[in-house]
Structure 1
Amino acid sequence: MHYRRFGQTNLQLSAFSLGTMRYLASEPEAIQVIRQAIELGINHIETARGYGNSEQFLGKALRAGLPLPRQQLYLTTKIPPMPDRAAMAACIDESLDRLGVDYLDCFAIHGLNTWEQLRWIEDPNGCMVAVQQAKAAGKIRHIGFSTHAPLEIILQAISTEQFEFVNLHYYLFNQRNRPAVELAQSKDMGVFIISPADKGGMLFTPPPTLQTLCQPFTPLELNYRFLLSDPGITTLSFGAAHPAELDQILSIADRNDALTSEEQRAIDRLILHQKAALGTDRCSQCFQCLPCPEAINIPEVLRLRNLAVAYDMTAFGQYRYRMFENAGHWFPGRKANRCTDCGDCLPRCPEQLEIPKLLRDTHDRLNGASRRRLWG
């Protein structure tokens, strides 16, 4: 396992962190996952108040004894932003109690996703007062935030200078947040990548077309290497529901080198294939089509179409598309069938895409039974 400096926190974190959102089984199995992760070299475990019984399970594992001393095991929990600092203080104490620890190595505002939530963070009398008081009292050592927000909100949150690290979405198949990664790096913030296997494209179960294009690598391996070849990215979340799943990171976890020429050729091949497969229907993700009068998240809808058409990533597209209108600020936007053909977006599209037509096509391809977030 390779270890990297987590920005200005100066913590040396394992290249993979154990994310605990997928604790769906029993308490004994959760404890087995934690123990196995530590035995493989993972020294950072990330949980959240909103992840079901995750904090309690992790607390039980800590009390049962783990193969790493507490001072060498780094714990992060996350609590949503809120306008009330007293409520935040109570939530911090409750999380500490659930975990059975005196302090958190890292604490993150969980889901800093909207402009309203950012105003709560910037309020000099708001919830961050409680967070800073907890830090002064030794209950918290380092402060960051996680986000599913539009890029503009992420950049503003980073620029508040209140945070030492950021947890965000950034993948080989979705590079929209590259400016946020670069801004965080310029401020010496630790960068934690959220769910690169699942949100990064359901890469545990890639379609045959994608597998062929990525050879001799697996799509998951190529995504991990794309991320870990960037020295400014500290750690990648790995969520395991069963101990055996942890074996999937062994071939990558000890690598710290730049992309090889063969890896870069595979990435270039993906780009060229997408351009050829989509032709003049390819959305370049410039975001100039927004805002949409019907609140359709046009770029994300068309990104999912890009992936479905070019790489046969239809299952992933369905998984994400069906969360529209069901996940609130965690995945904002309305479904593509809300389009009224108003044409407002058309003159702003530099590719001159027939956006209403492509929206309808995406809806036909990807719509189905609605989905919610795991802990929605």
Structure 2
Amino acid sequence: MRYRRFGKTHLKLSVFSLGTMRCLASASMFEKTLLGAIEQGINHLETAHNYGQSEQYLGNILKKNLPIPREQLYITTKLPPTLDKEQMRCLLEQSLHKLQLDYIDCVAIHGINTWEHLAPFAAQTGGFLALKKAQEEGKICHIGFSTHGDLELILAAINTDLFEFVNLHYYYFFQRHQEAIALAAQKDMGIFIISPADKGGGLYNPPPTLSQLCQPFSPLELNYRFLLSDPRITTLSVGPSNPEELIEPLKVADQDYPLTEAEMAVMERLEAHLHQTLNTDLCRQCYQCLPCPEEINIPEVLRLRNLAVAYEMTDFGQYRYRMFKNAGHWFPGQKADSCTHCGQCLPRCPEQLNIPELLFDTHQRLNGPLRRRLWE
């Protein structure tokens, strides 16, 4: 296991962090998974107020004889972006009580996903004041934020200079947030990548075409190496539901060197296949088609189409697409069948794509039963 400095927090975190959202089947399974992670060198544990009984389970384990002292474990919990100072104070006290801790190493605002979420923190009012007071009292060591928001919002949140770390989406198959990674690194913030196996492409169960294109590596391994090779990134979330699911990710826990020629050759092969397969239907993710009057997240819809057509990542595309209209600010946007063929996006597209036609095709490929976020 390698360890990296978590930006200006100066914490030395393992390059893989244990996310606890999925290991909630039982208290005993939670404990087995957590202890398995610690024994393999993971020293950063992430939970959240909204993750069911996760904080309670974790607190009970922290009171036992752990393989390493509590001082060598770093705990992050996440609290909702409440606007009210007293409510934020109460939420923090609840987390401290459940975790059975006198202090929490890192507290992240859980989901600065909209400008309304950011406003009171940027203005340093309400809930932010409660966190700063708790930090002064020694109940919190470091304050950061997680986000599922768009790039402009993330950049604005980073530019407030109020946060010491950020948890965000960034993967080989989703590099939209490159600018946010660069800005956070410039400001010496800790950078924590959320869910690289699941949100990064459903890479635990890759389709045959993608697996073949990635040979001699697995798609999961290649994505991890893409991230670990970037020295700006501190740590990656791994979210096992049992100890066995730690095995595959941690095979690369010591491989944080630059990309090899063989790895770069595979990535070039993936890029060439994407262009050859999509040809004139390839959405290059410039985002110039937005805003859409029907609130369709056109670039994300067409990104899912890109992956489904080029790499047969249809299961992943369906998983994500079905969350539209049902996940609120965590995954905003209407489904593609909301398109009215108004044509406003067409002159803005530098590739001259027939966007309404591609939206309809995506809906036909990926629509199905609605999906909710796991912890909801």
TM-score tier after normalising by the smaller chain length: over 0.9
Q: Is the 8 A contact 1:292 1:298 kept in 2?
A: yes
- How far apart are residue 151 of structure 1 and its match? 0.4
Query: What are structure 2's unaligned runs of at least 5 residues?
Result: none
Partner in structure 1 of residue 307 of structure 2: 307
- How far apart are residue 255 of structure 1 and its match? 1.4
- How far apart are residue 309 of structure 1 and its match? 0.1
SS of aligned partner of 1:64 = coil
SS of aligned partner of 1:50 = coil
Measure, in 1, the Cα distance between the counterparts of 2:59 and 2:255: 31
Amino acid at match of 2:216: P
1:357 aligns with 2:357: yes
Q: Is the 8 A contact 1:166 1:189 kept in 2?
A: yes
Query: What are structure 1's unaligned runs of at least 5 residues?
Result: none
Q: Is the 8 A contact 1:17 1:43 kept in 2?
A: yes
Measure, in 1, the Cα distance between the counterparts of 2:341 and 2:145: 38
1:327 aligns with 2:327: yes
Measure, in 1, the Cα distance between the counterparts of 2:332 and 2:65: 41
Equivalenced residues, count = 376
Amino acid at match of 1:92: L
Partner in structure 1 of residue 340 of structure 2: 340
Partner in structure 2 of residue 54 of structure 1: 54
1:255 aligns with 2:260: no
Partner in structure 1 of residue 211 of structure 2: 211
- How far apart are residue 21 of structure 1 and its match? 0.8
Measure, in 1, the Cα distance between the counterparts of 2:180 and 2:80: 20
Worse-superposed segment, 61-70 or 351-360: 61-70
Partner in structure 1 of residue 146 of structure 2: 146
- How far apart are residue 65 of structure 1 and its match? 2.4
- How far apart are residue 175 of structure 1 and its match? 0.3
Runs of 4+ in 1 over 4 A off after TM superposition: none
Partner in structure 1 of residue 96 of structure 2: 96
Amino acid at match of 1:204: Y
1:279 aligns with 2:279: yes
- How far apart are residue 60 of structure 1 and its match? 1.2
Measure, in 2, the Cα distance between the counterparts of 1:66 and 1:146: 28
Measure, in 1, the Cα distance between the counterparts of 2:128 and 2:101: 21
Partner in structure 2 of residue 240 of structure 1: 240
Measure, in 2, the Cα distance between the counterparts of 1:304 and 1:24: 29
Measure, in 2, the Cα distance between the counterparts of 1:368 and 1:35: 38
- How far apart are residue 120 of structure 1 and its match? 1.9
TM-score by length of 2: 0.99
SS of aligned partner of 2:75 = strand
Matches within 5 A, 1:1-376: 1-376=1-376
Measure, in 1, the Cα distance between the counterparts of 2:210 and 2:255: 23
- How far apart are residue 80 of structure 1 and its match? 1.0
SS of aligned partner of 2:271 = helix
Q: Is the 8 A contact 2:23 2:33 kept in 1?
A: no
Measure, in 1, the Cα distance between the counterparts of 2:159 and 2:283: 29
Q: Is the 8 A contact 2:146 2:168 kept in 1?
A: yes
- How far apart are residue 121 of structure 1 and its match? 1.1
SS of aligned partner of 1:94 = helix
TM-score by length of 1: 0.99
SS of aligned partner of 1:45 = strand
Amino acid at match of 1:251: K
Q: Is the 8 A contact 2:24 2:54 kept in 1?
A: no
Measure, in 1, the Cα distance between the counterparts of 2:270 and 2:119: 40
SS of aligned partner of 1:105 = strand
Amino acid at match of 1:290: L
- How far apart are residue 64 of structure 1 and its match? 2.2
1:11-64 CA distance string (max 9 Å, x none) = 100010000110231101101111000000000000000111110111111112
Measure, in 2, the Cα distance between the counterparts of 1:24 and 1:215: 34
